[in-house]
Amino acid sequence: MAKAFVIGGGIAGLTAATALAQRGAEVELFEAGPQAGGRCRSYFDPNLGLTIDNGNHLVLSGNHAVYAYLQRIGSVGALSGPDHAMVDFVDLPENLRWRVTLNDGLIPLWVLNRAARVPGTAVKDYAAYAPLLWAKKSAAIGETVKAQGMLWRRLVQPYLLAALNTQPEGASAALAGSVLREGLMAGGRACRPRIADPNLAAAFVTPALAFLESKGAKVNLGQRLRRFTIAGTGVRALEFADATIPTGMKDAIVLAVNAPVAQDLVPGLTAPNEFRAIVNAHFALAPPPDAPPILGVVGGTAEWIFTFPDRISVTISAADAIVEGERESLAARIWEDVTRALQLNAPIPPWQIVKEKRATFAATPEQDALRPGPRTATRNLILAGDWTQTGLPATLEGAVRSGDVAARLAARHLRL
C-alpha cells in the first residue's frame, strides 16, 4: 500500500498528518526536534516552576481552518475567550484605557458607538482603511493608506503588527487586507479572541499525537531529514542520519519544515529569505483578579499582555531592534510596562525571556512574492507551512490551511 510521509511536526505537519490519517492513509511523521509543535509548543521551565508556551498565539473565532483541525483532534474545548468580540487597550504615555467592542453582525455598527470604538476617533477614520481590501500584491500598506492618526496608533497599527510580524508601514497591503477581511471587518462573531487553555501543547499538539496514535500512524521525534534522493520526477528515498527509507512514486511526501530548511532540501526552490523576530516574556506571578485576559499596550516596549491564572506573558512582534538585547535588561524593561499596564505594585518576579530570531518571514510585498505554492516539480513531493502561499501572513490559521491543502493533494496522489 502507498504511504504518506510527513516531514516536520509543526502545526502544518500535524494538520497534514491528521487529515491524511483521517482519510485512511498510512502515515509516518518525522520531526527533527525532541518534541512536536514547532513554534507552537509548551515546555516546563525550571526557572519559573511552570509550564509555559514559547510564545502567545491568538486565535479568532472566525479561523475556520484552526477550528476544523481542533475538531478533528478533539480539542475545541481547549480554547477559551469572551462571549463577544472585545479587547482591552491601554495607552501608556496618555494613561488612557478603553475597550474595543465589536457587534456580532457584519455591519460594523460598533464604529457608530463612541463608547465601543477607539477614543479620539471618528466614523470617517475607519472608512479610510477600505483600500487595503483591494490592494495590489505589489503595494505596501504605507503606499495604500495613511499610516498615521489616532485610529492607526491605537488599533490598526498594533493589530497589523501582531498579525504580520512586520512593521506595518512597509508590509504587504494585500496581506493586511486579508487579515482585516477575515478579522475586524468580518464582524464580531468572527473576531472573538481565543487563547489556548491551559497551554498550546494541550490544545494543538498532544491531542494531535494521540489522534495519530489512534489511527495507527507512526511518529518519529529527533529524526532530521538530511536529503532526498530524487530520480526522474519523484522522491525515491528519505535519507536520515541513521537510516535511508526508500519511497516509491505512489507514495506521497509532505515537506512541512521552515523555509530555509526546505530550500536546503529542494533544489531550486524559491522561498522567503528575510525574517522577523518575536520576543516573549513570561513572569511567574498571578495577575490581578480584574486583569483582562488580553491587553493591548500602546506606547510601550510590551505590545500584548496575556494573563493566565499562574503567570503573565508578553509578546513583542517585529522585535529585531531588541532581540539581541541583554536578557536581564529586557525583562526589567518589559516588567515596568506590565506594572503600569496592569496597575501592579510588585517587584519583578521570576521571569523567562524567549527569543525567536527568525520567527516568521517578513510580510513585505517582495517576500510575499517569493512564497511558493504547495506543488513542486517533483511529482510526489508537496510543500506545507505558513511561509507557503496561503493568502495569509505567517499565522496559525495560515499554517493549518497549508497543511489541509497539502493533505488534499497527497490524498489525491495516493488515490484515497
Per-residue model confidence as pLDDT tens digits over 271-330? 999 999 999 999 999 999 999 999 999 999 999 999 999 999 999 999 999 999 999 999
Question: Do the Cβ atoms of 398 and 60 come closer than 8 Å?
Answer: no
For the chain, which domains are there? 3-55+199-271+364-414 (3.50.50.60), 86-190 (no CATH), 275-361 (3.90.660.10)
d(CA 143, CA 122): 22
Judged against a pLDDT cut of 90, whether residue 197 lies above it is answered with no
Beta carbons within 10 angstroms of residue 123's beta carbon: 12
What would the pLDDT profile of 369-397 be if each residue is shown by its tens digit? 999 999 999 999 999 999 999 999 999 99
pTM: 0.97
d(CA 243, CA 241): 6
The x, y and z cell numbers of residue 125, run together, are 477614520
| For range 136-148, the mean pLDDT | 97
Question: Do the Cβ atoms of 155 and 349 come closer than 8 Å?
Answer: no
